[in-house]
Amino acid sequence: MNGFMHKIRLVIGDAVLMKRIFFTAVLLIVFRFFLVIPIPGIDTMRLEQFVSGNDFFGLLNIFSGGGLSNLSIVMLGVSPSITASIIMQLLTVMWPRLKEMYQEEGEMGRRKFSQYSRLLTVPLAFIQGYSFMALLQNQGVLAPLAPFELLTNLIIIAAGSMLIMWIGELITEFGLGNGLSLIIFAGIVSALPGAASRLLLAFDASQLPSYIGFAFVTALVVWGVVIINEAERPIPVTYAKQVRGNKVYGGVSTYLPLKVNQSGVIPLIFAISIITFPQMILGFLVNVANQSISSFATSALALLTNKAFYGSLYFLLVFVFTYFYTAVTFDPDSISKNLQRSGAFIPGVRPGSSTSSYISNILFRLTMVGALFLGLIAVLPIAIGALTGISAVAIGGTGILIVVSVVIDLVKKIDTQVSAREY
């Protein structure tokens, strides 16, 4: 307890850190302010009924930070930005020049890569906004709009998405933590008081075993996320001895830490984005005049809303994206070259390609554990929701993963800055 209070005093006494925390808090408050500004022509009662009974829109509401629940001007939230990031990451696999820019050109290359992602966000925001508004009009949630009104609302929605992306980048650069993750985090946390009050009002003693089971699963998920996020596999590294004059340099031993979950919660966010985008488009195509397109969209939408298929696809996407994002962000060849340049080696492993293969094999096995964990935790609440009939459980599992991961990341960043200034 004394150590904790000491850390708190250090945080309060650090002017730079407090400035970053204050800046982050102010921008999150600004974001929450935009959430309560709705677009015109909404039937609020129909909207509440539509969103509350739909798991898909519950998940999409997470990305909007809660903006979807009242169709605010920032209703799309970070979804267009995340979708653009996914497309750009996929293009690095198919386009070597883009991969070189992202991995080998340093900070300048990453800035150019981010700029391309921002530009791609604009048309994606218009596409998602139009599909979503057309779907809501078909459901009677949004009143029919004239072409000019539709265009005006689309511009407002797209501008709202770009504003959210800008706020997220400002938090990342001048605040504390990852901006987009914090926006999602803020939306989830802000919904907790309302969810708790609804649970208390609707409490049924006969459902007590379900509540206990849900609490147990929640605690298990929190514990598992903490364990997996902190777990790492150390690879021993030795620096070769160098004799210069009468002095001997090197010869020290250290280790290369490989995290079990290198990609954090990003695969989960990617998977949800991939699932929600086709559902939004298909929901719009269901009511088109062409009978063939309408029938196909209806069948595909029914398949995607099937609990078994949805859960299987969700698990597969999380699993695949875990490997994909790890491969994009962690390059064993670069690690091997850096070790060789610095005169370091892994005991019992030849430098060069052998070291790269050794690291790749370990990373593959570690990523397998992380991918299985993320996939199972993501799907487990969905299964429990299907068994108990409580749809909010399916949304809660995703929310818990994101909230716990963001909190761990924030605590580590604060602790790092405090420790650096303490010594």
- Name the residue ranges covered by the structural domains of the chain: 1-203, 204-423
pLDDT given for residue 203 in this prediction: 66
Residue % of the chain over a pLDDT of 90: 0
- In this structure, what DSSP letter does residue 263 have? T
Instruction: Transcribe 299-351 into DSSP letters.
Output: HHHHHHH-HHHHHHHHHHHHHHHHHHHHHHH--HHHHHHHHHHTTEE-TTS-T
Q: What is the mean pLDDT of the chain?
A: 76
Query: Which pLDDT band holds residue 190 (cuts at 50, 70, 90)?
Result: confident
pLDDT given for residue 250 in this prediction: 56
Mean local confidence (pLDDT), 71-93 = 80
Mean local confidence (pLDDT), 170-192 = 81
Q: Greater confidence, 337 or 107?
A: 337
Segment 282-303, tens digit of pLDDT: 766 766 667 777 777 777 777 7
Q: Is the pLDDT of residue 242 over 70?
A: no
Output the CA torsion 272→277→280→281 (10° steps).
-160
Does this chain's domain 1-203 share its CATH topology with 204-423? Answer: yes
Domain 1-203: state its class: mainly alpha
Q: Greater confidence, 135 or 175?
A: 175
Residue 410 backbone class (left: φ over 0; alpha: ψ -120 to 50; beta: rest): alpha
Of 83-92, 282-291, 319-328, 357-366, which one has max mean pLDDT? Answer: 357-366
Mean local confidence (pLDDT), 132-159 = 78
Packing angle, helices 55-63 and 179-201, rounded to 10 = 140
Of 90-104, 113-127, 212-226, 409-423, which one has max mean pLDDT? Answer: 113-127
Structure tokens that stand for 76 in this block = 């799309």
- CATH number of the 204-423 domain: 1.10.3370.10
Those residues with Cβ within 8 angstroms of residue 249's Cβ, 6 or more apart along the chain or in another chain:
241, 242, 243
pLDDT given for residue 394 in this prediction: 44
Residue % of the chain over a pLDDT of 70: 75
Sign for the CA dihedral angle at 185, 191, 197, 203 comes to negative
Mean local confidence (pLDDT), 132-141 = 72
**Nearest partner of 229 among 374, 393, 415, judged by Cα:** 374
Beta bridge partners of 258: 233
Backbone angles phi, psi at 68, to 5 degrees: -70, -30
Segment 361-408, tens digit of pLDDT: 988 888 898 888 888 877 776 776 666 555 544 445 667 777 887 888
Mean local confidence (pLDDT), 77-103 = 78
Segment 44-80, tens digit of pLDDT: 666 666 666 555 666 666 666 666 767 788 888 787 8
